[in-house]
Structure 1
Amino acid sequence: MARKQWREMGAAMLPLGGLFSAVRIPARLVHAVAGTVVPAYVDEFLEHALDGGPVICVLHGGRRYYALVPGSMPRTWHDAAEEWRAVEVDCLGRDALLGVPPVTRVDHDPASWASYWSVPMAAAGELCAPLSVARLVAAGVHWIREEEEDADADV
């Protein structure tokens, strides 16, 4: 089924909450921590920050990154996830679908496709460590809040 969806739609709609879940992170948060908006540098940063854990980047409709995490993360990180929603970070699990690009789509090319593997999956079942994702989000929240405070101080 996934192969057919990749051929026909460019992405396979996979259910979350079983084998894996996803943490949706807005680009502005990732870019703040990475210190760049250059896709290749952001991808390299994410690979290092998440110890090679897989990340999908959705290019259209406001760039977002999806860090793939164990299926239980949305339940076990409930309190943190509530706080993260204020900065548009969300833990997606059961009852959610994720558009997953073909495993060969690893290049940023917004003219050709809507998503790609910012950090490709190294092996089946190898996911981002939840603590690494939480640290990335916490750092992004810190940077964004500092920018907002600096903007308020300039007024």
Structure 2
Amino acid sequence: MTTAENRRRIGDWLARADPDPDNVWAQWRQHGVALIPLGRRFDAVRVSAERVHAAVGSDQVRAVADVLGAWLAGPVLRDLRSSLGPYYVLIAPGAAWDGVEERLSTDTYLGVPRPGHPTVLTRWIVEPRTPGRLCDARHLRALLRTADPLRAVVP
């Protein structure tokens, strides 16, 4: 399967989180970003840039992407409207989450770029690899546990 075919399959999976998937595709064509409802196919955990960068030990885009990809093995978005824009870690709706970071779910919409098409507003830091493959909330919790001790050590 080509990369384009896989991205199309992932796009279809993401779009079906909306009761009207054609609307998502129309938003992607017109704006590059679609507002997709959470709570059906996936939820999102909003994590501050400061906390992600402390856990990763870097604020460099490639380093952050590599670490998040290795630790979480699932899709992560970043709000790019400011240098302090938060990260959104996509997890399963039924996944247990007891972290201090806010979990976004039902009755919330997330701006999601079309896979393979970065925008100036938001970008995949870790693109979805296959339809339905999400981050493991336990791995996110473990990664974030390192943030506070590292922040205390870094001058």
In structure 2, what residue type is equivalent to 1:102? R
Q: Which of 60, 84, 97 is 2:81 aligned to?
A: 60
- Range 6-15 or range 94-103, more displaced: 6-15
Aligned to 2:134: 127
Shift of 1:6: 1.2
TM-score (norm 2): 0.77
Shift of 1:25: 0.6
Unaligned runs of 5+ in 2: 1-22
Shift of 1:120: 0.6
Matched, 1:92 2:114: no
Shift of 1:5: 0.7
1:62-86 CA-to-partner distances (Å, cap 9, x unmatched) read 311111100123xx32xx24xx1xx
* CA contact 2:46–2:87 (8 Å) conserved in 1: yes
Unaligned runs of 5+ in 1: 107-111
Shift of 1:10: 2.1
1:44-78 CA-to-partner distances (Å, cap 9, x unmatched) read 1110111x2111111114311111100123xx32x
* CA contact 1:103–1:120 (8 Å) conserved in 2: yes
Structure-2 change in CA distance of 1:10 and 1:138 (3 Å): same
Matched, 1:25 2:31: no
TM-score (norm 1): 0.77
Shift of 1:41: 1.1
The 3-state SS of whatever aligns with 2:146 is: helix
Divergent runs of 4+, >6 A: none
1:77-99 CA-to-partner distances (Å, cap 9, x unmatched) read 2xx24xx1xxxx21111111111
- Quote the RMSD (CA, aligned, Å): 1.8
Percent of aligned pairs with the same residue?
30
What is the alpha-carbon distance in structure 1 between the residues aligned to residue 64 and residue 126 of structure 2? 10
1:89-139 CA-to-partner distances (Å, cap 9, x unmatched) read 211111111110010135xxxxx5111110010111000011011112222
